[in-house]
Structures are given as structure tokens and as C-alpha cells.
Structure 1
Amino acid sequence: MVTSVACAEPIGGVRPSEGLKAPAFGQIGNVLDQSLPIVANGLNESVIEVPEGDIALETTVFKPDGAGPFPMIVFNHGKLPGNAHSQPRNRPVALACEFVRHGYVVVVPNRRGFAGSGGQYAGHGCDVEANGFAQAQDVAATVSYMSEQSYVDKTHIVVAGTSHGGLTTIAYGARDAVSAPGVRGLINFSGGLRQDECDGWQKNLVSAYGDYGQNTRLPSLWLYGDNDSVWQGDLASRMYTAFTSHGARASMVDFGDYKNDAHRLVGDRDGVQVWWPHVKAFLAQIGMPTAVQYQVSEPALPKATDFASLDSVKSVPFIDEGGREGYRNFLSQYSSRAFAVSDSGAWSWAEGGDDPMSVAIASCQKQSNDPCHLYAVDNRVVWNDGASETQQTASR
């Protein structure tokens, strides 16, 4: 019997939803204005190539309907372990959805050497400051290229990033941003670069932020959590103190604990309600728009059935005792979740991220020649004998 479990990165331990500081995760309270135009769930996603010197950067664009011009956010991804070319094309759907709702075009470049972009990752060994500047060249190329597109308002731009992309964002602000007067601010989500193979990497990282702070003139917003698996102890506050010690304008938000790892905040749709209020306030301060401009259509969730109660482990069909243990594990996850099974006994659960239903189905399907179907979504059982409705929903 082959089983599979899928989680939002980074993968951590299981933590029951009962200790949440924000127990309404998964219930973002946006009241839709029916008078607003509707943007389809796909967010008009396209993949373009942005020229950067001798290569092209594989870049994802999400945008509202219409010709614009729209304000723009350029969002910079993190780095997973291993070969950067093996890293998937970055698609921060939850973040993109929120910004598209507010009328923004969202531009997500894969930097040199990542995913389908050309060239090789510019690591610069243990010189983290040089690493950030090298990454920032791709951001500068993206801002320059996209500013010339007719649907972009080149006078209203913000640059943001998470993890390695957060460091890249701050490095961009320290040097390359001077050539883009339309960039009004920087947003750093849990930014930095962890280099365990380098002696004194924490000191190197703090020093790099200090050097960046000497030359950064743009205001920046920093968001870090207490239970971040990457930046432990007081490292985040040390980075921020070094950056601001030279007069750089920045504000830091400690948003406390987030699920089992604060580092996953931006990659998780439940995280929007944590970061958006702080980001909205910052955007208003730097003269960026904050009003809701569009509705974004949501995929229809599969309907609950009376097949069994959610906590009835023995009712889940096809799975063996290992699968039942997996289902017990699923029940201890946060409520934004899905559990999938196949006739042959394969199973998978997914929690958080942008679309746990699709992740659970896809991960289960990798282990099974028979079709996988959703058994439970969020807090309800959706299984029926044919399972056709749930399968169609998950494979949208």
C-alpha cells in the first residue's frame, strides 16, 4: 500500500487548530459588493518572458480585466533546497487574489536560474550581501520591463518578497530602486537567507541588512512571526535593528504565531487575514490604492453529504489502518484542508496553501492508477458513491 501526505511548505509538525490566536482562519470576512465587476478565478494568469541581459526570466502575471493602467506589485519568491531550476514556477495565488481584488496587476518573476528562467543561480558563496544584490538585478529588469506595458501604471509600484525574496526586495531598495521613481515602497515578508553551511551566517545576514539600510531611501514594511522555523530567537529583530540603525525608514510587525510555522504565512490562503490589514495600512501611507475594485469568483466547494460524520474514522472507504491513521492526522489539521482517496486504497491529505483540494487529489493520484476523489473538505464529508461531483470540483 502506497500513501501520500501533502502540506504547505515548509513542512512541520502537526498542531491542532484549538490553540490558534485567530480561530477564524479560513473565513476571511470580505463582504462582496455586487456592483463591482467580477474577475474569473483564474485571475487572467499568463506566463511571459522578461528580458534580463543575456537570458529571459519566466514571469507569471495576474491581472484584473480591462486595459488598465493598474498599479503594480512585483513579488519575489523564496528558495527551496536543491537545484534552483527544479523549483516550480512561483504562483502566489492567495496573495495575487487579494491584490487583484484591489485593482493591482501582480508580477512574479522567477529569478535567474530558478524554474524556467535562463542562467544559473547567483549564489556568491557566503557573501549574502552580494547574493542579494545579484538577485535584485532581476527585480530591476522586471520593474523596468513591466513599467513599459500599457496596462501598468508605472507611477504606482510596490516591490515585495518572502524569505529569500524578502532579502532580495530590501537589496533592490538599497541600489536599483533609484532608477525606478514609480516604486513607492518595499514589503519584506520573513526575509533573509539561511546558509547553514557558512560559519557565522547569522552575523553575515545581520551585517548585510545593516549595509542595505545605509543606502535605502524607500519606506519598508517588515512582517515576521514568532514561530518561524527559519529565523529563530531574536534574529529577526537583529536584522531589523541593523537595517534601521542608519536611518532607513521601516516599520516592523510581529504577527505572533501562525499555524505550525510563521514562515509559511504568504504561501497560505489563511494567512491573508493576518497580513493584509498591515499591508493595507502601509500601502495607504505610501500613496498606493487600497479600495476593493473587483470581486474574484471563488470555485464552488463540493457539497456536504450524509455519508458519515467527519470524525468517523472507520467510515472512510478503501483505506487500510495506515490510511486511517492518516485520516486521524488530517482531523488534527487546520480547517482549510482536504482528504482524498482512491478505490485502490491510496490516500492523501493537504492543509493550507492556495488550494488544498487540488493538492490532495494530485498527490493521491501520483500513487494510484484508479481515480482519486475527495472524501472530506474543511469540516465536512463530501463523499458520495460516484464521487463525480467532488472530482470535477477538484480538477478545475
Structure 2
Amino acid sequence: MSASISARCSTPACSAACVPDRADAASRRGAAAADQGDQTMRFSPLAFLLAFVFITPLSAQEREEIVRVPATGGANLIATVFRPAGDARAPLVVINHGSPADGSQRTTMQRPKYSALTSWFTARGYVVVLPLRRGYGESGGTWAEAYGRCETPDYYNAGLQGAADIQSTIDHMRTLPYVANRAIVVGQSAGGWATVALSSRNPPGVPGMINFAGGRGGHQKLPGGGTGNCTPEALVQAAAKYGATARVPMLWLYTQNDSFFEPSLAARMAQAYDAAGGKANYKPLPAFGRDGHGLAGASNGTAQWAPLVESFLAGLR
């Protein structure tokens, strides 16, 4: 069932983020969405992420709808759909969100938009769907992406839980009359990690996937004090485990100033994924803004990623 809706900015945090120069204020209220966290950060390095991921206006030509996606355990995922002009069946792009750094904000999370990224794809004739996975915002079901203790994280299974919701979204969207079989999967942060996890399943009709700053466990309180990434070696090992069965081509994009997954860690994950048999196509990018982790959601980041994405898509069968 789908119903037409109009994008509106109705909450205080959203209203602040609507104006780019007020993004820091929204960030200080803990609105940044980047990775799962069990603590509240006093300052979010993702000031620009929520300023543009959730509420930047989209093209007037795009038609926006809400659909409910049947998912694991009888849950219904709430997904936002943007359709390009025309009524012909079009290929699908699934864009997958990150996770709030403050875990208490998962249930109040707004529907993501990734406005610049979405508009880029709809302008090229794609139907774009942005699902809220289980346990986020309006979506039903129990949150299933926990990775456990910081000392012994299970990033592998956490990613597969997110991947299950992405697959449910693809399956449902293909039942709609305006969606063709071909699908591209894109994800950022925790959504990028779920996208990498899905690659290990080689879903039919998905010729390529794009990972923006994917990973888990960033900006956490460490057992020895301070904050950082929970057991980064576990991310590398999980990436290798995904790569062992993955055969779908991927594009991995990480900036030099990503505060969650610094360049050497991103490179190690990609190398492990490739060495195990995957096809990461890792592309390190220059620093972007205050924190490049939010590149995918920024309105002014298109020039940095678009040529690489265009080339990647052109090379897919």
C-alpha cells in the first residue's frame, strides 16, 4: 500500500538543519546519524550529515511516496520512494541509512532523504527507495543490528541483519508496476556496512553496489578509556568473511577525514574483502568538509563522488 506524501520539516532539530549555517546547533542536540552507538556524544562530527540527509528539498519533478515493506518477523519497514518523470518501468536504487550515534534516538529517527544522491539517480531515470530498517523511526520490528560488546563485536552478523532488510525492500519494490528487475544498492555508514554484507549473498538482478564510508563501531567508549573504534581488527575480519562469498562488483568510497573509519582502516577492510575473493574497487577520496563521513548526505559533495559513481555504473553489465 502506498500513499502520496509531502516532505515537511516539522521538528525543532529538523528545522535547525533546514538552514545550513544552523547545522551545528542541530548536531549539538545529538541529531547526527552515522553509526550505532550506545552512548550520547557531546559533540557530533557529522554536523552537515543531518542538515542534508533528511530534509534538503528535492527536485520538483520527483514524485514522493511512502510504501510499507514486509520484512523479517512480520515487521513492516517504512520506505520513502522517489520516482523520476514518466510512467515507464525503471531500474531501482536502494539507498540505506546510517544509525544514530546515540542509540536512544533510533526510534525517533526521521525518514532519510539523501537529497543530492537521490536527485542524482532520479535524474538518470532510476526509482529510488530509502527504507528505514527494523527498529528505526516509524518502521516496526525489533532493532536487530547490535554487534554486542566493544571488546568482542560481532560485526558480521550485525551487517547481515541490515542486509536482510535491504533484500526485503528489493523484493517488495519489484512487485510494483513502475519498478524493473535491475537494482543498484547504495549505503552509507551502517547502511554501507549492510550493503557490503548483502554483497556476500550475491542477490539476483543486482549488478553492482556502492559503499559510502561503511562500517560499524565508530566513536565508541573504549574499555581502556577514551573514544574510538571498537576492535577495528574485527571489522577487517568481517569484511574478509563477506568477501569470501561476494562476487558482485562494488565501489567503496571513503574520505581522508572520515572520523569513524580513518584511511588506513578503510584500506585494510577493502584489501581483506578483495583478498578473500570480493570486488571492492576501493577509491580513497580527498578530505571533505569538517568530517568526510557525511559526504553521501551533503548537498555540496556531488562533484567529489559523481564521476566515480558514473564510471562505475557505466561498467556494469
1:46 to 38, 61, 65: 65
Q: Which residue of 2 aligns with 1:170?
A: 196
The answer to whether residue 300 in structure 2 is matched with residue 267 in structure 1 is no
Q: Deviations over 1:43-73 (max 9, x none)?
A: 2111111111311001010111222211111
Quote the Cα distance in structure 2 between the aligned partners of 1:258 and 1:55: 37
Q: Which residue of 1 aligns with 2:216?
A: 193
Quote the Cα distance in structure 2 between the aligned partners of 1:187 and 1:246: 19
Q: Which residue of 2 aligns with 1:60?
A: 80
The answer to whether residue 255 in structure 2 is matched with residue 225 in structure 1 is yes
> 1:46-125, aligned counterparts within 5 Å?
46-53=65-72, 54-81=74-101, 82-83=103-104, 84-122=106-144, 123-125=146-148
Per-residue deviation, 1:13: 9.6
Q: Which residue of 1 aligns with 2:6?
A: none
Quote the Cα distance in structure 2 between the aligned partners of 1:237 and 1:182: 28
Larger RCO (CA within 8 A; separation ≥ 6) = 1
> 1:235-250, aligned counterparts within 5 Å?
235-250=265-280
Per-residue deviation, 1:198: 6.7
Q: Which residue of 2 aligns with 1:388?
A: none
Quote the Cα distance in structure 2 between the aligned partners of 1:124 and 1:229: 20
Q: Which residue of 2 aligns with 1:205?
A: 235
Range with bigger deviation, 5-14 or 276-285: 5-14
Q: Which residue of 2 aligns with 1:302?
A: none
The answer to whether residue 189 in structure 2 is matched with residue 159 in structure 1 is no
The one-letter amino acid paired with 1:95 is L
Per-residue deviation, 1:255: 1.2
Change (3 A) 1:233 1:182: closer
> 1:377-392, aligned counterparts within 5 Å?
none
Q: Which residue of 2 aligns with 1:394?
A: none
Quote the Cα distance in structure 2 between the aligned partners of 1:137 and 1:129: 13
Matched position secondary structure for 1:286: coil
1:183 to 203, 206, 223: 206
Consecutive unaligned residues in structure 2, runs of 5 or more: 1-15, 17-21, 34-43, 48-57, 224-229
Quote the Cα distance in structure 2 between the aligned partners of 1:279 and 1:233: 20
Per-residue deviation, 1:260: 1.1
Change (3 A) 1:218 1:70: same
Matched position secondary structure for 1:207: helix
Cα pair 2:46 2:293 within 8 Å, conserved: no
Matched position secondary structure for 1:247: coil
Q: Which residue of 2 aligns with 1:251?
A: 281
CA RMSD of aligned residues (A): 2.0
Matched position secondary structure for 2:209: strand
Consecutive unaligned residues in structure 1, runs of 5 or more: 15-38, 288-396
Cα pair 2:255 2:263 within 8 Å, conserved: no
Q: Deviations over 1:137-190 (max 9, x none)?
A: 101100111112111110x21101000000000101102x33xx2111110001
Quote the Cα distance in structure 1 between the aligned partners of 2:197 and 2:277: 16
Quote the Cα distance in structure 2 between the aligned partners of 1:13 and 1:109: 21
Cα pair 1:67 1:150 within 8 Å, conserved: no
TM-score by length of 1: 0.61
Q: Which has the larger radius of gyration?
A: 1
Per-residue deviation, 1:40: 5.1
Quote the Cα distance in structure 1 between the aligned partners of 2:158 and 2:194: 8
Per-residue deviation, 1:115: 0.9
The one-letter amino acid paired with 1:111 is R
> 1:299-314, aligned counterparts within 5 Å?
none
The one-letter amino acid paired with 1:136 is A
The one-letter amino acid paired with 2:295 is L
The answer to whether residue 173 in structure 2 is matched with residue 143 in structure 1 is no
Per-residue deviation, 1:111: 0.4
Change (3 A) 1:211 1:89: same
Quote the Cα distance in structure 1 between the aligned partners of 2:222 and 2:95: 27
Cα pair 1:113 1:120 within 8 Å, conserved: yes
Quote the Cα distance in structure 2 between the aligned partners of 1:40 and 1:75: 17
Per-residue deviation, 1:204: 1.1
